[in-house]
Amino acid sequence: MYETLIWEETFPGCSLNEHNWNRRVGNWQLSSDGQPVVPGWGNREQQYYTPHNLEVSDGTLKIIARQEDAPEQFGIRCPYTSARIDTHGKFSFQYGRVVFRARCSVGNGLWPAVWMLPEDSVYGPWAASGEIDIYEAKGRLSQSVFGTIHFGGVCPQNTHTENQAQLPDGQGIDQFHIYELIWEPDSISWLIDGVPYAKVNQWDSIDQRIKYPAPFDQPFYLLVNLAIGGSFDLESAQNITPQFPAIFEIDYIRVYQ
């Protein structure tokens, strides 16, 4: 199932493929007309995203987080810089298999992620229209990987289902692994190095107008980023200690249907 390649990124050359990706800038979540809504991308994140924290070389993408004063944005200056890219408006899909190979530096406060958001949010603002987290990690937990879905209703009436996997002894997130998501009409599954570790086939929204299998029955697009601090790991948010620069390196991303 899902063996036909419909999209891939192998990061050739020495620059990001602008036909595939958007680069995001700043620390603020903005409205559709560019007005500030909430800092920290809604997650108390402490990094400012810039295009200069991306590097494409030797066939991989490197998202580089640095400890440095960022440009001021809406009266706030972040102590870290990093990068975030996405395919919104350029590539989205409904159902299929996502496979990518990646590794990331370790250390308190690092939050690498490969995830998906709805292209058109047909059921309303986050998280009524859903979010699929293919891969997240907490830099202080070097052998743990997380896969999550968010749903339920518009925040704060949202909920989530989180799944955690443990990498084998001696194999941390700082080594290359193959991460995989299989998204079917009635289920979502996560794998590492070809081994399944979680599957969900039930999600119920608080909003009665959103009936299962909604909201995961619409096209989603891809996002890749490396955050610093934030609400995903509050135990590290006030104790950020990785050795900078920290790097989230992606070898390839492929989508099959």
CATH number at residue 13: 2.60.120.200
CB distance 166 to 130 below 8 Å: no
**What is the DSSP annotation of 178-210?**
EEEEEEETTEEEEEETTEEEEEE-----SSTTS
| Neighbour count for residue 185 (Cβ, 10 Å) | 9
**131 noted as active-site residue:** yes
Mean pLDDT to the nearest integer, 90-115: 98
Alpha carbon distance 40, 135 (integer Å): 20
Alpha carbon distance 223, 237 (integer Å): 22
Nearest CA among 51, 53, 57, 84 for reference residue 68: 53
Assign 21 a pLDDT band (cuts: 50, 70, 90).
Answer: very high
CB distance 166 to 143 below 8 Å: yes
Domain count, the chain: 1
pLDDT for position 32: 83
Nearest CA among 145, 120, 142, 144 for reference residue 130: 120
Percent of the chain with pLDDT over 90: 93
Indicate whether 81 pLDDT > 90. Answer: yes
Alpha carbon distance 168, 178 (integer Å): 14
**136 noted as active-site residue:** yes
Nearest CA among 216, 240, 215, 220 for reference residue 229: 240
Mean pLDDT to the nearest integer, 54-75: 97
User: For 105-124, how does the pLDDT look when each residue is reduced to its tens digit (9 = 90+)?
Assistant: 999 999 999 999 999 999 99
Mean pLDDT to the nearest integer, 135-140: 98
| pTM of the full structure | 0.97
Supply the range of the domain harboring residue 97.
5-256
Token duo for residue 84: 């975030």
pLDDT for position 178: 98
Residue tagged active-site, from 136, 162, 235, 249: 136
Residue tagged active-site, from 119, 131, 180, 249: 131
User: For 194-221, how does the pLDDT look when each residue is reduced to its tens digit (9 = 90+)?
Assistant: 999 999 999 999 888 899 999 999 999 9
Indicate whether 84 pLDDT > 90. Answer: yes
Mean pLDDT to the nearest integer, 55-77: 97
User: For 217-245, how does the pLDDT look when each residue is reduced to its tens digit (9 = 90+)?
Assistant: 999 999 999 999 999 999 888 899 999 99
Mean pLDDT to the nearest integer, 144-153: 97
